[in-house]
Amino acid sequence: MTQQGMDPELFEQFIDQLDRYVRERLIPAEADVIANDRIPDEIVAEMKEMGLFGLTVPEEFGGAGLSTSQYARTVRAMAYAAPAYRSIFSINVGMFNSAIKNGGTDAQKAEWWPRIAAGEIACFGLTEPGSGSDSAAMATTARPDPDGNGWILNGTKRYITNAPHASVGLIMARTEKDALPKNAHVSAFIVPMDTPGVSVGSPDKKMGQSGSHIADIMLDDVHVPGDALLGGETGKGFVFAMKSLDNGRISVGAASTGYARRALDSALRYANERKAFGEPIANFQLIQQMLAESETEIYAAECMMTDVSARVDRGENTIRQAAAFKVFASEMCGRVVDRVVQIYGGAGYLAEYDAERFFRDARIYRIYEGTTQILQLQIAKHMLREFAARG
């Protein structure tokens, strides 16, 4: 099924407005976000008013109805500012909305799409203390409620983005003891976070990305009604999660690309201002090499983003391409911020300058929504499967 998205002319106006908002409002507020480890309430309210929490929700349900290509460009634009700004709405418009779109019943869409578009914050509960990419080790369980048609959930989820702020979580849980057929033991549940038995741990202290928060979610005999089961069918949760992660990986790739551009622009400015041996260090060829290598890699990631998001909009299966884009863009961002620290020299190691923050913030991109190593295995698996199918 193809995605049309917002009218192209209106979307270009929206992106122009967003670019100005990022540079004139969000970037000047970064010091406040970092100092207080939170986005100011008034900025969150502004982002909701701009419709950022419902970018991919269909228009008839109160959202902007963006295509994947438009969504990726929006994420890239937002990611030019501190990562916390993207993080606060990314689960809504990425993984949670994708799961509702791909697997939700009509009733679930009618209930949750307007709430998400209005700015209710969602989280996505897949990772656990003992399992992440290894779904067979999932310990969270959902058993039928003996007193009705609902379910009782027990378990712990770890590293859950936006858990301290979320009003709803999409929780993956084991509904069968055995994992046969593969991953059919995992189902997905829409769980309001104020449901009795749901508790959230203190936000974890992290290496970077100040203002974005992750925490554990504990589920202790959490009773949910039968219509909380995504799609109304057990055994489909992992499929929905993986489809959602394709969207999440495009989002992380786009964020990596936008943040790499921010870091490179900073280095370019610094290299023209900083003088050594009587001239700007931008005149030195080895500095120019680092600038050029960074520009080349960012351009490659931008091209990958354009291609993979267009494929999604055409209705193609993009598991391999989304993984490849996320791997390349996140690793690229890591290389760019490393070069930026090097260009800054000694100043790059000081918290007083942006380069040190860019370096810490970028490190997580190579880990979440599938580590580079897990995604490399996935890419190779699909390559080998396609090769075998060709005979």
Residue 158, token pair as written in the block: 């770890």
Catalytic-role residue among 120, 128, 302, 369 = 369
Stated as kind and residue range, the H or E segment containing 123 is strand 122-125
In the chain, the amino acid numbered 7 is D
What radius of gyration do the chain's Cα atoms show? 21
Active site residue 60: no
* DSSP assignments along 134-203, one per residue: -GGG---EEEE-TTSS-EEEEEEEEEEETTTT-SEEEEEEE-SSS--STTTTEEEEEEETTSTTEEE-PP
Residue 176, token pair as written in the block: 């069968």
Closest CA to 203 of 211, 214, 212: 214
- Alpha-carbon gap, residue 304 to 311, rounded angstroms: 11
Grouping H, G, I as helix, E, B as strand and the rest as coil, residue 212 is coil
Closest CA to 158 of 126, 192, 197: 126
DSSP H helix total and E strand total for the chain: 12, 9
Residue 38, token pair as written in the block: 């939170």
- Alpha-carbon gap, residue 267 to 274, rounded angstroms: 10
Closest CA to 334 of 260, 229, 282, 237: 260
For residue 181, whether the previous peptide bond is cis, meaning omega lies within 30 degrees of 0, is yes
Neighbour-count burial of 275, counting CB atoms closer than 10 A to its CB (0-12 exposed, 13-18 middle, 19+ buried) = exposed
Instruction: Cite the active site residues.
Output: 369
